[in-house]
Chain A
Amino acid sequence: MFNPARLKLARQRLGLSLTKVAESSGISLRSLTNYENGASAPIDENLMRLAQVLAVPRSFFERETVETIPVGAVSFRKLSKTTALTRDAVLAAAALATEFFQIVASKFLLPQPDLPSLDKLPPEQAAELTRRRWGLGDRPISHMVHLLESKGVRVASINHVYRDIDAFCFFRDGTPFVFLNTSKSAERQRFDAAHELGHLVLHAELEMDPSLSKEREIEANRFAASFLMPQSAVLAQSMRGASIDRILAARTYWKVSAMALTHRLHELHLLSDWQYRTACVTLSDSGYRSSEPGGIVREPSQLLRKVMFGGDGKFSARDAARELNLESPDVAQFVHGLVPVAA
């Protein structure tokens, strides 16, 4: 039976407006609107056209409604720069990804969520407490994605088409989800993961009031910097007035970008304003603003590898696509950059 919510989901995940779908499918805008609000159901021919335009099998429209992810539940970076269509597209894809993880959870025993909620603390203290609670000491985090996954966070990928969106996160039925843009550098991806962890730890209990978005983003950045580069350890590394060579050695040690490390040193009063500006200019001239020369490799997912490639009854992208009434490339998008799958 046709489910109007599934039509909307299929349209939104491709970032298409009703007008655009009407143009592509040859179905009137009025009819499309009626289909989506449930006033009428499409005839077979129109359903086929919609399936073709929206790149899903017809059976996709007959599945149960997936609860959409309200914008208010999501910590979006660069919210103001994101168009409504883009935002709806990534949220629709995220809703499908949660469905994917739901199916995975029905077949596999996965780590249970173990995240502290520290919304009363300043970000730096929250980061330190989270490290302590997880027994991380003040050593570099060897692998952010694995760490999150081991604490019950489901990590998925954002469609690389949406380069403007770095990352976002939300809770769904008590399970934390983090979506990363895996087209970014590994260092950037790690910082994004720590930033989203900051939102989950600091802002889980809050409604995402758009007017406070900027403050939340700043807090999540402060959390990420403190979590990845703990103050006590950085202060023990002779970084006062550090040279570029030393900054580069330290960024490799902490597995962060040179720019993030430089900013951290300035934040900790180890670089003066002048030293900070000079270091930023030098790094920028050497290409460290837009990329990370000599950087580390991107972090893959351990959870998805075990699920999709484990010897113990693996669950492939094709299996997942079949169960979700999607195509394999759709599933591949959820895990792009996290496990090697054919696009």
Chain B
Amino acid sequence: MSNIFTISPAETPDGEERLNEFGLSTTLFHTALTPGVSRARGRTALALRTTPGNDIYHNTMEELALMLAPQGWQPVDVDGQPRLLHPDGMMSFTLASATNVAHPDTRKTPRTRGKGPATRNSLAAHVAHDLALFDLPDSPKKSVLVAAANSSSLWMLLHERTPTGLNLEFAQPSAMTPGGTVIAWADSIAIRPLELDGDLSVFDDPDGSDDFDVPVARL
């Protein structure tokens, strides 16, 4: 299985520039992820096991859609997989949890949870896209957006929870197991981890003091 891709290390100008070429940035990702991660980190041990992950997924997809909409990004549902489609259709991306994200041992590449037909079709479409000479003339008609999403390269904003935040990577899947786990990546941009433990702004002085008046008057 081919596993040849470029890794742009975290916080290198190269990595950030590459994100910027898509109209994305580390700050944008961090800003979009923070509310969901904060919510997830506020979940008690009594929450369902899947709840913190859902917090991150649902909150962040909405935040990203809100933040990118003014630039012309479109939310698209491709076979049940929500994605955000670049204004020029050059790529689309979705959010995915994975293991080995930004692993210091570069031999260990991220592994997503099982993905469905949207990702599988996308990988196939991606190959087809690369091999444009073999495009079929009567490919099935879909909505313009979904078609655009399908023909664009699929990227994933990969995240892995840590005790204090998230490890992050922005990567383009290239192969998956029969069970749907993406295990190979055509390209990857490492993103600075989101560290929330050090962010103590939530404990800033709550608008100064609101002292209580004790009215006392001489009789």
Identify the stretch in B8-16, B147-155, B209-217 within 8 Å (CB) of chain A at 4 or more residues: B209-217
Question: Contact at A312–B211, with CB atoms within 8 Å?
Answer: no
* Bound-state Cα–Cα, A220 to B52, Å: 33
Selected from B38, B198, B209, the residue in CB contact (under 8 A) with A236 is B38
Question: Contact at A108–B218, with CB atoms within 8 Å?
Answer: yes
Q: Does B206 contact A (CB under 8 A)?
A: yes
Known: A238-B38, A249-B200. A306 touches B214 (CB 8 A): yes
Q: Does A57 contact B (CB under 8 A)?
A: no
Q: Does B203 contact A (CB under 8 A)?
A: yes
Question: Contact at A108–B203, with CB atoms within 8 Å?
Answer: no
Listed residue (B46, B203, B212, B218) with the most chain A CB atoms within 10 angstroms of its CB: B212
Interface residues of B in 30-85 (CB under 8 A from A): 37-46
Q: Smallest distance from the beta carbon of B198 to chain A beta carbons, Å?
A: 8
Q: Does A196 contact B (CB under 8 A)?
A: no
Question: Contact at A313–B218, with CB atoms within 8 Å?
Answer: yes
Q: Does A106 contact B (CB under 8 A)?
A: yes
Question: Contact at B218–A312, with CB atoms within 8 Å?
Answer: yes
Count A-side interface residues using an 8 Å CB cutoff.
Answer: 40
Interface residues of A in 47-77 (CB under 8 A from B): none
Interface residues of B in 189-219 (CB under 8 A from A): 196-198, 200, 202-203, 206, 209-219
Q: Does B164 contact A (CB under 8 A)?
A: yes
Main secondary structure of the interface of B (DSSP, over half): loop
* Bound-state Cα–Cα, A306 to B212, Å: 14
Q: Smallest distance from the beta carbon of A296 to chain B beta carbons, Å?
A: 11
Selected from A249, A270, A313, the residue in CB contact (under 8 A) with B203 is A249
Chain B, Cβ-Cβ closest to A150: B212
Interface residues of A in 135-180 (CB under 8 A from B): 139-140, 142-143, 146-147, 149-150
Q: Does B137 contact A (CB under 8 A)?
A: no
Question: Contact at B43–A246, with CB atoms within 8 Å?
Answer: no
For the A-B complex, the count of residue pairs with Cβ-Cβ distances under 8 Å equals 100
Count B-side interface residues using an 8 Å CB cutoff.
Answer: 30
Q: Does A83 contact B (CB under 8 A)?
A: no
Which residues of B are found within 8 Å of A238, using beta-carbon distances? 37-38, 41-42, 196-197, 202
Chain B, Cβ-Cβ closest to A109: B217
Selected from A142, A246, A272, the residue in CB contact (under 8 A) with B211 is A142
Mask, B114-127, CB within 8 Å of A = 1, is 00000000000000
Question: Contact at A246–B216, with CB atoms within 8 Å?
Answer: no
Known: A142-B209, A236-B38. A109 touches B200 (CB 8 A): no
Mask, A241-262, CB within 8 Å of B = 1, is 1110110011011000000000
Q: Smallest distance from the beta carbon of A54 to chain B beta carbons, Å?
A: 32
Q: Does B178 contact A (CB under 8 A)?
A: no
Chain A, Cβ-Cβ closest to B44: A269
Q: Does B140 contact A (CB under 8 A)?
A: no
Question: Contact at A240–B218, with CB atoms within 8 Å?
Answer: no
Which residues of A are found within 8 Å of B203, using beta-carbon distances? 237, 249-250, 252-253
Q: Does A310 contact B (CB under 8 A)?
A: yes
Chain B, Cβ-Cβ closest to A240: B41
Question: Contact at B214–A146, with CB atoms within 8 Å?
Answer: yes
Question: Contact at A150–B214, with CB atoms within 8 Å?
Answer: yes
Selected from A106, A108, A246, A269, the residue in CB contact (under 8 A) with B46 is A269
Chain A, Cβ-Cβ closest to B213: A150
Which residues of B are found within 8 Å of A242, using beta-carbon distances? 197
Question: Contact at A149–B214, with CB atoms within 8 Å?
Answer: yes
Q: Does A201 contact B (CB under 8 A)?
A: no
Q: Does B104 contact A (CB under 8 A)?
A: no
Known: A243-B164, A246-B197, A269-B44. A303 touches B216 (CB 8 A): yes
Question: Contact at A143–B45, with CB atoms within 8 Å?
Answer: no
* Bound-state Cα–Cα, A238 to B197, Å: 8
* Bound-state Cα–Cα, A110 to B197, Å: 46
Q: Does A239 contact B (CB under 8 A)?
A: yes
* Bound-state Cα–Cα, A250 to B42, Å: 13
Which residues of A are found within 8 Å of B179, using beta-carbon distances? none
Chain A, Cβ-Cβ closest to B40: A240
Question: Contact at B196–A269, with CB atoms within 8 Å?
Answer: no
Q: Does A302 contact B (CB under 8 A)?
A: yes
Q: Smallest distance from the beta carbon of B43 to chain A beta carbons, Å?
A: 6
Selected from B42, B202, B210, B212, the residue in CB contact (under 8 A) with A240 is B42
Which residues of A are found within 8 Å of B202, using beta-carbon distances? 236-238, 253
Q: Smallest distance from the beta carbon of A200 to chain B beta carbons, Å?
A: 17
Q: Does A281 contact B (CB under 8 A)?
A: no
Selected from B164, B197, B206, B212, the residue in CB contact (under 8 A) with A147 is B212
Question: Contact at A306–B216, with CB atoms within 8 Å?
Answer: yes
Give the top 4 A-B pairs by smallest Cβ distance, nearest first.
A269-B44, A238-B41, A306-B216, A253-B203
Could you write out 25 A-B pairs with CB less than 8 Å apart?
A: A106-B219, A108-B219, A109-B218, A111-B214, A139-B206, A140-B206, A142-B209, A142-B211, A146-B211, A146-B214, A149-B214, A150-B212, A150-B215, A236-B38, A236-B39, A238-B42, A241-B163, A246-B197, A249-B203, A270-B45, A303-B214, A303-B216, A307-B216, A312-B218, A313-B218
Q: Given A235-B44, A306-B214, 14 other A-B contacts at CB below 8 A?
A: A107-B219, A142-B210, A142-B211, A143-B212, A146-B214, A235-B42, A238-B37, A238-B196, A238-B202, A250-B203, A270-B44, A306-B216, A312-B217, A313-B218
